[in-house]
Structure 1
Amino acid sequence: MKNAVQLFQTYLDTIQSPRVAAQLFAEEGALEIPYLKSLGINHRAQGPEQIEAFIASLLTKVPDFKFRSVRFLIDTPEQAFAEYDVEALVPATGRIYRQSYAGRLVARDGKIQLLRESMDTVAAANAFSPVTNA
């Protein structure tokens, strides 16, 4: 049975495979990115099906989205905290999405119960905002 850090690392490593990443979550497990709410984006997905759809939607916007430079700062059997980065092209805008995330994962019985991530919404807005001819 995987502990919190193992689940977290597997999630980060499999983000390009939405179904594989989503299957790490418990049936009632949730992926939350509260700061997305300020951008008008659904900030919570619950259960493997919604989480898979959320990740798949992200990959349609940023096909080369991959987590890099993972730094675990808290490592217990049931909780982990890490910082990790993304740098990928957003084809719709032609901009590079540069983002540092911080995530807290809660695990139970070898499944992710909760993954709550924080991010820089300004960096996200800059990468995803429509290009204007100003």
Structure 2
Amino acid sequence: MNARRLLLAYTANISDPNFISSLFAEDGAIELPYLESIGLPTRTVGPEAIREFIIGLLQVIPDLGFDTVDIMIETEDQVFGEWSVERTTAAGRLFSQTYAGRLVAENGKIKLLRESLDLVRAARAMLPNGVADIPA
């Protein structure tokens, strides 16, 4: 698959950890660089680790699914876009987020998916005490 098709497959199937992990190269990675500030991993490498990451995410947002996907820039092996979600977390909080991300494809698999998100909105939805749990 090319980068566009990989991104569309990723966003359409985010609730299926086994399928999502199959999209990644053996050394493929998901990077969410800003999560460090709320104590979460910033880089997950390899299909099995990515599968476990998605399983953990689904425990927090059980019906996770992306509502819109807008691809803004694309080549055969790279794509940049935005995708959004609005769901309720397992704790009953609203999780409303727009991600921006760059996907790099290599040999029909995801080599790198780097995403950004609004940390304040993520903390409010996912941390027990919301933004109060973000380290100073």
Aligned counterparts, 1:91-130, within 5 A: 91-92=90-91, 94-130=92-128
Q: Which segments of 5 or more consecutive residues in structure 2 lack a partner in the other structure?
A: 131-136
Structure 1 residue 67, shift from structure 2 partner: 1.0
- Sequence identity (%): 48
One-letter code aligned to 2:77: E
Aligned counterparts, 1:40-59, within 5 A: 40-59=39-58
- Deviating above 4 A after TM superposition, structure 1's stretches of 4 or more consecutive aligned residues are none
One-letter code aligned to 1:35: Y
Q: Secondary structure at the match of 2:123?
A: helix
One-letter code aligned to 1:102: A
Distance 2:86 2:118 in 1: 13
Structure 1 residue 131, shift from structure 2 partner: 5.6
One-letter code aligned to 1:31: I
Preserved contact between residue 29 and residue 44 of structure 2 (Cα < 8 Å): yes
Aligned counterparts, 1:71-86, within 5 A: 71-86=70-85
After TM superposition, the score normalised by the length of structure 1 is: 0.93
One-letter code aligned to 2:122: A
Q: Which segments of 5 or more consecutive residues in structure 1 lack a partner in the other structure?
A: none
Structure 1 residue 83, shift from structure 2 partner: 0.3
**Number of residue-to-residue matches in the alignment:** 130
Structure 1 residue 58, shift from structure 2 partner: 0.2
Distance 1:73 1:34 in 2: 21
After TM superposition, the score normalised by the length of structure 2 is: 0.92
Distance 2:126 2:29 in 1: 24
Preserved contact between residue 85 and residue 97 of structure 2 (Cα < 8 Å): yes
Q: Secondary structure at the match of 1:73?
A: strand
Q: Secondary structure at the match of 1:102?
A: strand
Aligned counterparts, 1:52-67, within 5 A: 52-67=51-66
Distance 2:110 2:11 in 1: 12
